[in-house]
Amino acid sequence: MRLHRYLKSCMVDAQGGVLMANHNFWRGEKVRLRAIEQQDLDECISSPEEPDQWDERANAEIGFPVWREKDRDDTAALRQRKDGSFEWIIENNEGQKVGYIGTFECDGRVGTFKYSIIIKRAFWRRGYGSEAIRIVLRYYFRELRYQKVTSQIYAFNEPSLRLHEKLKFLHEGRLRRMVYTNGQLHDQLMLGMTCEEFDQLDPPMPLQP
Ligand SMILES: CC(C)(COP(=O)(O)OP(=O)(O)OC[C@H]1O[C@@H](n2cnc3c(N)ncnc32)[C@H](O)[C@@H]1OP(=O)(O)O)[C@@H](O)C(=O)NCCC(=O)NCCS
């Protein structure tokens, strides 16, 4: 019975060889990525985040307080899939919603894309952010054939800068005075990684189980 279930869970090629054991691509060791559900939107709307709370550093501005109707529109827009972009909820192994990751500016012709990620402050430094990024990079490089990812980081965003350096993104440039917030101008840093560089760091899984 176990063998039957195992065989059913394998994809078999024309010669009868096993291509890939069943494996939940979207689940890592610490997090799983899942689509945004209606319940997530309802929860956002019933308790909107204050704009200057845990996600403040992802924004280049301090916003006005959120009103529910606007929040409803914003969160509903998250579900719209445009070009090759997508948005996921990040859940930990306990099933807690710990953050969000979403791709944008996905150019399928050139093969470039960007993403934004937010981990709730209470869950920082547990490896959730880096694992979520690695899962998304695997998918975009190895399933969708993108070849280059870029991350735009505000120069004052130390956690994001350290995270991307630890993931071995390379510094590609500094755009001066691109951001204004809290009475000050800030630079924007560009960090990037090619699919070949990612393969070196995170070798593709073998097809044979
Ligand atoms: C940046 C962010 C996504 C990091 O998420 P995270 O889950 O805490 O990151 P990880 O636990 O995977 O950290 C991996 C490594 O990044 C570095 N790092 C992460 N946060 C750091 C911090 N606050 N200070 C210094 N280094 C940090 C560390 O090297 C860390 O490894 P270590 O904990 O073993 O030392 C999170 O801080 C966040 O959501 N910030 C607000 C939103 C934001 O800035 N998004 C990115 C916009 S570009």
> CATH says 26-201 is which class?
alpha beta
Residue ranges with strand state E in the chain: 11-12, 18-20, 31-35, 87-92, 97-107, 112-119, 148-154, 170-181, 184-194
Domain segments of the chain as ranges? 26-201
Cβ–ligand 1 contact at 154 (below 6 Å):
no
Structure confidence at residue 113 (pLDDT) = 98
Q: Distances in Å between the alpha carbon of 179 and those of 62, 116, 135, 155, 191?
A: 12, 16, 29, 9, 17
pLDDT-based confidence at residue 72 (cuts at 50, 70, 90)? low
- The phi and psi torsions of 138 (rounded to 5 degrees) equal -55, -45
Any ligand 1 atom below 6 A from CB of 162: yes
Q: What is the pLDDT of residue 209?
A: 62
**Looking at residues 20-25, what average pLDDT do you find?**
67
Residue having the nearest C-alpha atom to atom 10 of ligand 1: 127
Average pLDDT over residues 6-27: 55
Say which amino acid occupies 2. R
Paired residues of 181 in beta bridges: 184
97-107 and 87-92 beta bridge pairing: antiparallel
pLDDT score for 43: 73
**pLDDT band per the 50, 70, 90 thresholds, residue 85:** very high
Best probe residue, ligand 1, of 125, 171, 187 (max atoms within 8 Å of C-beta): 125
Q: What is the pLDDT of residue 36?
A: 87
Q: Which atom of ligand 1 is the closest one to the Cα of 98?
A: 7
CA of residue 16 to ligand 1 center, whole Å: 44
Confidence of residue 6 (pLDDT cuts 50, 70, 90): very low
Q: If pLDDT is split at 50, 70 and 90, which confidence band does 71 have?
A: low
pLDDT at 173 over 70: yes
How confident is the model at residue 207, as a pLDDT? 75
Q: Dump pLDDT digits (tens) for 25-70.
A: 999 999 999 998 878 877 765 554 544 444 444 566 777 776 666 6
Nearest to 207 by CA among 19, 26, 15: 19
pTM for the model stands at: 0.86
SS3 143: coil
Average pLDDT on 78-100 reads 88
18 CA distance to ligand 1 middle (Å): 38
Question: For atom 24 of ligand 1, which residue has the closest CA?
Answer: 159
Ligand 1 centre from 163 Cα, in Å? Answer: 5
Q: Is 4 helix (H, G, I), strand (E, B) or coil?
A: helix
For residue 179, what pLDDT is reported?
92
- Per-residue pLDDT tens digits for 98-149: 999 999 999 999 999 999 999 998 999 999 999 999 999 999 999 999 999 9
- Are the C-beta atoms of 83 and 140 separated by less than 8 Å? no
Provide mean pLDDT across the span 149-161: 95
* pLDDT for res 44: 65
* Mean pLDDT value across the chain: 83
Return the closest-CA partner of residue 181 out of 30, 52, 94, 70: 52
Mutate to test the pocket of ligand 1, among 56, 163, 193 (most ligand atoms within 8 A of CB): 163
* Interval between CA 44 and ligand 1 midpoint (Å): 23
